[in-house]
A = this chain, B = another copy of it.
Amino acid sequence: MRPDADTKLITSPANPLIKRINALHEKKFRVREGLFLAEGLRIVTEAADAGVTPAYLIHGPDMSDHVLLRRLMAATRAAGGEVVETSADVLRKLSRKYNPQSVLGVYTEPARTLADLDRTASFAWIVCQSLKDPGNLGTILRTADAVGAGGVILLDQSCDPYSVEAVRASMGALFTVPVVQAEWADFLPWLRGGPGFLVGASLNASEDYQAIRYPAPTFLFMGNEQSGLPADYEAACDARIRIPMQGKADSLNVAVATAVLLYEVFNQHRRADR
């Protein structure tokens, strides 16, 4: 006897819905469908805690008694989403792993623009220019969530925040931290249309990151992993700062550099609050 009559059972990898979901590993299908994939009970639970339920909640066999999953099933249905039970084989296909997560969520991509952001909602925002690595982006989102940053603005040809890798590295922060994709030509006029202190991270800057005060809202501006910020982008900043280093390689991972800077801004902010 099926334990849950409202759950659709799909075990064929050739099922059209399964094929559609599987295609979401590729950006062009994510864009076409306006949907993206998140893997794992933990991330799907974090999303639900943030008030975001999936369009499709997919789970493996023999899980209908799982308390956390039952709650997710109810929340998904209450919001008009569909619950699908599938086989371990199909889960392997969808997650591209031999030992797949037993829960997947298929979510609607939020259609946010700069105009949707309330810049006064937080003391800090992160702006990334041509960020290439989705793991770095996910890690930056996670740090942004931790300090209560307002959101992440991705400029120019940055990686897709809705890739499986970015969602995974964000550990659910993609659902709590607003992300906007924009072009530099649109971002700068938007920024200058209101309060906002734009601080560029640069290996060439002479100012130590702890030597300046960061007014709210501060926009931390991080450049591409290989080449940093373009010179004209740096020139448009209100300040340029560097993280001191005394090593042989003289570079930090961009997600690490973002965290070091963001925690300085956060620390100044929380000291001011005392």
Contact = CB atoms under 8 A, between A and B. Distances in A.
B142 A256 contact: yes
Contacts of A50: 248
A135 B46 CA distance: 24
B176 A146 contact: no
Contacts of A210: 267
Given A171-B251, A246-B147, A139 B256 contact: yes
A49 B250 CA distance: 13
A244 interface: yes
Contact of A143 (B139, B143, B252, B270): B252
A146 B46 contact: no
Interface in A171-209: 171-173, 176
Contact of A253 (B139, B148, B246, B260): B139
Copies in the complex: 2
Interface residues of A, number: 37
B135 A245 contact: no
A142 B251 contact: yes
A38 B256 CA distance: 22
A246 B142 contact: no
A50 to B, nearest CB: 6
Contacts of A148: 246-247
Given A146-B246, A146-B251, A253-B255, 11 more contacts: A142-B256, A143-B256, A145-B247, A146-B243, A146-B245, A147-B247, A171-B253, A172-B248, A173-B248, A176-B248, A260-B260
A235 B125 CA distance: 37
Interface string A154-177: 000000000000000101110010
A252 B49 contact: no
A144 B263 CA distance: 18
